[in-house]
Structure 1
Amino acid sequence: METKLNKSRMERVRRKCGFICGVEVEAEGSRGGLCLAWKEDIKVTLRSFSKWHIDVIIKEDDIEGEWRFTGIYGSPYLKDKNIVWNLLKRLAREDRYPWLVEGDFNEILYSFEKSGGVQRDMKLMEAFREVLDDCQLLDIGYSSVWFTWERGIVQHLPYSYSDHCPLLLNTKKSVAFTGNKRFHFEAWWTMEDSFEEVLKESWESTNGTLMEKLERLQFCLKEWARVKEKEKVGLKKELTNKLEFF
């Protein structure tokens, strides 16, 4: 999160909240500032930091293996967005731990995620989607949290004074891997013209219990999405080849 505090003041706030260990990145005047806090029973190794990120390796006593956490604060200013996106892509190229990326990206994926105000520039949202795709961070998404592994469970907690919802990650509750990737609904599906038709056709063509209809719907949507993704890849290659002649 953006603390807007200097290091000494943020450290006092952190300790007052019961976190003995932590890393603070100083704010620049009234802008920026980052803090990552943890308790003594967790081993955290700092890898790198900047005014945009804190990157660490985490070892929990009762969890097998280490995993990686990167806290990101995306710039709200257009002139700095490419700097943050390039940083994220650079971090993604480093050694492969199970990876959690969390923070305030100051960007949205699709226009329907924003309520009111000035309409978001389509190019900015597309650039954000491409960055996450390049980093392979589209496996699971919960608001501003992105995983490259299916270890934890995320909950949205109640909030009052802030317009940001607290997120709770529980790494001790995991679903056993059975060999099949869990079904995840993708927001971009709703932007496809054929989505509603596929949804309606699958639901009306299946006779059985609610669970049987839902299982059939999952299968149909996954197959439809697989075909759509292939079409998008082909279209992208076609357009790229045409651009080479200009």
Structure 2
Amino acid sequence: MCAGDFNELLKSLEKWGGSNKSQAQMQLFREVVDECGFIDLGFVGSQFTWQKHFADGHSIWERLDRALANNEWMLRFAESRVHLLSVTSSDHSPLWIRPKSLDLPCFAKPFRFEEMWLSNKGCIEVVEAVWSSQEGLDPSVRVVQKIEKCGKELTYWSKIHFGNVRSELNLKRRLLIEPEKEALQSGDNSRVRSLKADINDLLDKESRMWLQRSKVLWAKNGDQNSNYFHRRATQRYRKNSIVNIRTSEGQ
């Protein structure tokens, strides 16, 4: 994480009063942030962190202070909040950063069809088997029951054929270390090629999984930038989380 007074703006909305900020200068700052893989953690409180008041009555407000974090930080502390504190002894507002992991409430997961299942023909076979079964119930009830049964059967099938993709991927990567050493000594790289084929298959599944969760509909299939999709999915969790609720009385 990188936080403090950057003395730069990311967009024109981060300034009120005074002359307009150079678009080229803001673009350079945006490029640096992107190059570092940083995400702006946002803020709680006033949108401006710096202010200057002149004797002629006009004032300038700018958001010069901010907290930026990379993907690793976001994965560990997805629920972090940056509070802007009020102070009169400085023209900059202090940043109070509260690192916090994303604590999701414990509840039964709703069924979610995974797009990566389509890479295995067994998925279609499970759906066809459930849908072709005969049930002696009212047609409207039968459809609902088949949908529920299909979800249960696919979930069970997925545990057997897909398991935990991330855990499997980490395991295969660890297993690859020794075969690579052996290949250097013996000249036989068959195990290396086999494990790398498995890893590429898992990477494809992981990419599909995070692509679906990130809702980046314009991304092309085959892009294996899973960190980017993971970051987008984490941002969705932050955006959708409810920190507090205010009543009609303002409490």
Q: Max radius of gyration: which structure?
A: 2
Q: Taking structure 1 as the reference length, what is the TM-score of the superposition?
A: 0.30
Q: Taking structure 2 as the reference length, what is the TM-score of the superposition?
A: 0.30
Q: Higher RCO, 1 or 2 (CA under 8 Å, sep at least 6)?
A: 2
